[in-house]
């Protein structure tokens, strides 16, 4: 283990919260080997036994909710209520869902054969081995622990590399998993920067990565060199389309929560509001007081806090640069617009109007407490603007006419489109979570997420007593070509008279 350590400081106060040692590539290799050794015994347990262990882990999480929320608030900065709702409740529900549904999802699946009826096929699912999870700092408990749960249910071991900004919560997460009955060596937590993440990729059988597009490309390239699968979730620039007939009160409340929850540090945050010009005044009448009422601060000291700090100073600088660029190009801040002086990485909840497509705020992920509003003249223009982004994770449509909204939703280039709601599909483990375009490859959640943690294997066997040999085996006879041509036409051709003709050799 390296003598170097990463110090974690509170995003709200700057005070030291804790530290972790940096894992060298040799440390990562040793950790992966421990997980690989433990995985052999874990995979031999029945799925029912693995589910039972994870159910007990769920109970430990519930018992230790206060510990989790307190550390998340200190380390990541979010209010405890958001730590509870966004991270703890989501994970508990995900475990509840997958431990209930895993037997169905991983049940061997028969494949009806359309032609060679004397044989049968089925799929079954085998663990991949060791799964590497490289996580972000915005939801450091849930986004690392959710794939850990899925990987374990599939029979794998796990190596987790949390963000260098929020490593402490994964140490507590491992403690909880072990307390619930997961073998200690089966989950390995390593810490560090890019070199550590690269070493994880070199020593596992699959990667699940959440982070930036730039880093995601590097992860995917390294996985490609090793020919191991990867799932990448690389951020979003979610548009919210507000149609003429939207329920303005509900829409305004949704936009505020969708834009400012977790201080805007959500890959599914509302980052572009495209509102029909005719309802813009009414929407702003609702938005301005709602945004003005949001109280930023340190929830460790004040229970009335609605918004915590940005997690790190680098991100605060990015948010300020996005806002400054917009104002320099003609946007106006109706609320906020500046970093807050004093300790911590606080930024004023900000509402921008007169926003135009040439501004960085409309093109690059902001990941902060800023809601930019752009007036649009018609739905066709909204769709064009929504699809202009290189990112496509989530999008939102607000309308009283659900059918109309669904029609528009199907035209938006995004992995998920919600109608009259925001963010909450991440809390629906049945539904796939993933994007299109530069927002990543593959999905977390849903049935496929569990199956993707496995090798899909196919078995084909004989249903009837086998013949001495198949007609297409050696030796080839002189009449075999003509026979197969007639059979092909009779069985696979189109049109009854054509089939009869081909059967006769015509």
Q: Predicted confidence band at 1 (pLDDT cuts at 50, 70, 90)? A: low
Q: Predicted confidence band at 301 (pLDDT cuts at 50, 70, 90)? A: confident
Whether 116 and 462 have beta carbons less than 8 Å apart is answered as no
Q: Is 144 a catalytic residue?
A: no
Claim to verify: residue 256 and residue 385 sit in the same structural domain: yes
Structure tokens at 318: 């990015």
Angle at CA of residue 283, ends 277 and 286, nearest 5°: 165
Q: Choose, from 75, 82, 164, 233, the residue flagged as catalytic.
A: 233
DSSP states of 19-71: EEEPPPHHHHHHHHHHHHHHHHHHHHS-HHHHHHHHHHHHHHHHHTHHHHHHH
Taking the C-alpha atoms of residue 357 and residue 431, their distance in angstroms, rounded to an integer, is 32
403 CB contacts (<8 Å, ≥6 apart)? none
The answer on pLDDT for 396 being more than 70 is: yes
Residue entry with tokens 């530290």: 19
> Would you say residue 461 lies in a domain?
no
pTM here is 0.96
Claim to verify: residue 484 and residue 505 sit in the same structural domain: yes
Backbone φ and ψ for 349, nearest 5 degrees, come out as: -55, 125
> Would you say residue 162 lies in a domain?
yes
Mean pLDDT of 465-472: 91
Claim to verify: residue 480 and residue 505 sit in the same structural domain: yes
Question: What pLDDT, in 10s, does the model give residues 305-325?
Answer: 999 999 999 999 999 999 999
Claim to verify: residue 143 and residue 206 sit in the same structural domain: yes
Q: Predicted confidence band at 439 (pLDDT cuts at 50, 70, 90)? A: very high
Mean pLDDT of 130-154: 98
The confidence score (pLDDT) of residue 2 equals: 58
> Would you say residue 4 lies in a domain?
no
Mean pLDDT of 89-100: 98
The confidence score (pLDDT) of residue 506 equals: 78
The confidence score (pLDDT) of residue 420 equals: 98
Claim to verify: residue 279 and residue 425 sit in the same structural domain: yes
296 CB contacts (<8 Å, ≥6 apart)? 263, 305, 306, 307, 308, 309, 340, 346, 347, 348, 349, 369
Claim to verify: residue 64 and residue 125 sit in the same structural domain: yes
> Would you say residue 398 lies in a domain?
yes
The count of domains in the chain is: 3
Question: What pLDDT, in 10s, does the model give residues 13-40?
Answer: 999 999 999 999 999 999 999 999 999 9
Claim to verify: residue 219 and residue 242 sit in the same structural domain: no
Claim to verify: residue 75 and residue 108 sit in the same structural domain: yes
Expressed as residue numbers, the domain containing 158 is 25-234+445-456
The answer on pLDDT for 407 being more than 90 is: yes
Claim to verify: residue 47 and residue 82 sit in the same structural domain: yes
* Average pLDDT value for the chain: 97
> Would you say residue 96 lies in a domain?
yes
> Would you say residue 16 lies in a domain?
no
Q: Choose, from 267, 271, 365, 379, the residue flagged as catalytic.
A: 267
> Would you say residue 437 lies in a domain?
no
Claim to verify: residue 132 and residue 36 sit in the same structural domain: yes
Percentage of residues in the chain with pLDDT exceeding 70? 100
Burial group, residue 88, by CB count within 10 angstroms (0-12, 13-18, 19+):
buried
Burial group, residue 13, by CB count within 10 angstroms (0-12, 13-18, 19+):
middle
Domain of 388: which CATH number? 3.40.309.10
Claim to verify: residue 323 and residue 214 sit in the same structural domain: no
CA distances to 11, 59, 322 from 298, rounded to whole Å, are 9, 29, 24
Structure tokens at 506: 């015509």
Q: Predicted confidence band at 302 (pLDDT cuts at 50, 70, 90)? A: confident
Q: Is 263 a catalytic residue?
A: no
Q: Which residues sit opposite 21 in a β-bridge?
A: 5
Claim to verify: residue 125 and residue 266 sit in the same structural domain: no
Mean pLDDT of 111-124: 96
Taking the C-alpha atoms of residue 469 and residue 467, their distance in angstroms, rounded to an integer, is 5
Question: What pLDDT, in 10s, does the model give residues 252-295?
Answer: 999 999 999 999 999 999 999 999 999 999 999 999 999 999 99
The confidence score (pLDDT) of residue 126 equals: 98
Domain of 209: which CATH number? 3.40.605.10
> Would you say residue 20 lies in a domain?
no
């Amino acid at each position: 283990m390296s003598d170097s350590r990463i110090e974690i400081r509170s995003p709200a106060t700057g005070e030291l919260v804790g530290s972790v040692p940096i894992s060298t590539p040799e440390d990562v290799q040793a950790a992966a080997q421990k997980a690989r050794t433990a995985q052999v015994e874990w995979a031999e347990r029945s799925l029912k036994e693995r589910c039972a262990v994870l159910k007990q882990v769920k109970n430990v999480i519930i018992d230790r909710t206060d510990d989790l929320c307190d550390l998340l608030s200190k380390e990541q900065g979010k209010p405890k209520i958001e730590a509870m709702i966004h991270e703890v409740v989501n994970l508990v529900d995900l475990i509840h869902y997958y431990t209930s549904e895993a037997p169905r999802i991983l049940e061997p699946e028969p494949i009806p054969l359309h032609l060679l009826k004397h044989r049968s096929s089925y799929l079954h699912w085998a663990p991949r081995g060791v799964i590497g999870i490289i996580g972000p700092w915005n939801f450091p408990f849930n986004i690392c622990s959710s794939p850990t749960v899925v990987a374990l249910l599939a029979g794998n071991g796990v190596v987790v590399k949390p963000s260098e900004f929020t490593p402490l919560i994964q140490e507590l997460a491992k403690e909880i998993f072990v307390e619930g009955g997961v073998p200690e060596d089966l989950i390995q937590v390593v810490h560090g920067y890019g070199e550590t993440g690269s070493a994880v990729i070199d020593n596992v059988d699959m990667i699940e990565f959440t982070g930036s597009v730039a880093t995601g490309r590097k992860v995917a390239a390294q996985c490609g060199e090793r020919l191991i699968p990867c799932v990448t979730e690389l951020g979003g620039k979610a548009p919210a389309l507000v149609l003429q007939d939207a329920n303005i009160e509900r829409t305004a409340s949704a936009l505020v929560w969708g834009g400012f929850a977790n201080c805007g540090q959500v890959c599914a945050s509302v980052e572009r509001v495209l509102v029909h010009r005719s309802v813009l005044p009414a929407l702003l009448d609702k938005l301005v007081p709602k945004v003005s009422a949001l109280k930023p601060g340190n929830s460790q000291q004040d229970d009335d806090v609605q918004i915590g700090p940005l997690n790190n100073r680098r991100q605060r600088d990015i948010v300020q640069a996005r806002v400054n660029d917009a104002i320099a190009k003609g946007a106006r801040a109706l609320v906020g617009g500046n970093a807050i002086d004093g300790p911590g990485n606080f930024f004023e909840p900000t509402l921008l109007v007169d926003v135009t497509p040439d501004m960085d705020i409309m093109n690059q992920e902001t990941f902060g407490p800023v809601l930019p509003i752009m007036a649009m003249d018609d739905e066709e223009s909204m769709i064009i603007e929504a699809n202009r982004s290189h990112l496509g994770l989530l999008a939102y449509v607000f309308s009283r006419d659900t059918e109309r909204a669904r029609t528009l939703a199907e035209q938006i280039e995004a992995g998920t489109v919600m109608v009259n709601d925001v963010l909450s599909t991440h809390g629906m483990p049945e539904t796939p979570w993933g994007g299109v375009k530069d927002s990543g490859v593959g999905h977390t959640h849903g049935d496929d997420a569990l199956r993707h943690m496995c090798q899909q294997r196919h078995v084909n066997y004989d249903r009837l007593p086998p013949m001495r040999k198949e007609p297409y085996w050696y030796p080839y006879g002189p009449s075999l070509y003509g026979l197969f041509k007639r059979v092909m036409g009779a069985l696979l051709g189109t049109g009854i008279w054509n089939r009869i003709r081909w059967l006769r050799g015509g």
